[in-house]
A = this chain, B = another copy of it.
């Protein structure tokens, strides 16, 4: 499921029935960034707290760089201090009686006293808080507080960085800068970074791997590309805010296996052979693999799985226009094109258009099943 690097990186395996049901496993090699995504309340914060040693699950293993941090089966657990993590709390958890500078300095216990102040200033500058060093948390805005929390976590020079929505309260411009800082940092220090985020674009842009959580269960871990193009289940696709999930049936047309979808028999590049004739499947198509035919000028490649549809909705968001097309049997295809391309093609609500569904993009999923937390505990953990 995920690449395994001998003895390096962070590996987490957690299982419990209650009070917060959990059944998750994921790992993050050193130097990589793993994004934890999932609906609100799916257990992301709880998992970070487990890694940090602030939450003790019923059953769990945490191994970092080959060293066990938590092994419930032999009642072994390091303290949060021993784990040497840097954590940005979702609600910041700044020390109210210390000003911004002192909040950051406090996390620099590993450095000689003399260096702390200037370095702490440097960290605050890195998160764009120059001049606010002497402010107490109560005198800072929400986003400023969050950045102090980020600076504090980084200042610890941790072995593992745990970021619980570290950019949720800062504006887009600052967020980009901070994201860039984080990307730079990743190149400098080779530690696992776990990022909880609700911003899927952020996850896609920053993460080497994404792990999708739902009700405490880790559904899939993989590269952003894999997750966004090849989600293992409709649920994962939906959790990743993907549309274009449809039902179809495996049929044989002129001796070739095809995917029947409404009136269309679609060519599919991969996966058809593993399915049996007549089987109902759920399939997904990434919006990037829906190609609009140019008005009156069909081009090469546009003959693949041509589908006629009417424009149901067009939403212009700056340079990008979101298009919903209704296919004759009722399903809705959604994709984005550049606004000028939409203009050029004179798209308008109600117009009839043709699109190609690229065979390579069509991703067949083994059914409608929703992965549920297994209530069965394995007798032995398989690790490495």
Contacts and interface: CB of A to CB of B under 8 A. Distances in A.
Given A41-B144, A317-B204, A320-B320, A338 B288 contact: yes
- The A interface is mostly helix, strand or loop, or mixed, namely mixed
A336 interface: yes
A176 interface: yes
A164 to B, nearest CB: 8
Contacts of A344: 291, 299, 301
A142 B40 contact: yes
B40 A174 contact: yes
Most chain B Cβ neighbours within 10 Å, of A141, A176, A204, A337: A141
B289 A340 contact: yes
Contacts of A200: 172
A287 B341 CA distance: 12
A99 interface: no
A39 interface: yes
A337 B338 contact: yes
A40 B288 contact: no
Contacts of A38: 171
The 8 closest A-B pairs by CB, nearest first: A40-B143, A288-B319, A287-B319, A288-B339, A90-B142, A41-B141, A171-B198, A168-B168
Interface of A: 37-42, 45, 90-91, 140-144, 146-147, 164-165, 168-176, 198-201, 204-205, 228, 238-239, 241, 286-291, 299, 301, 315, 317-320, 335-341, 344, 358
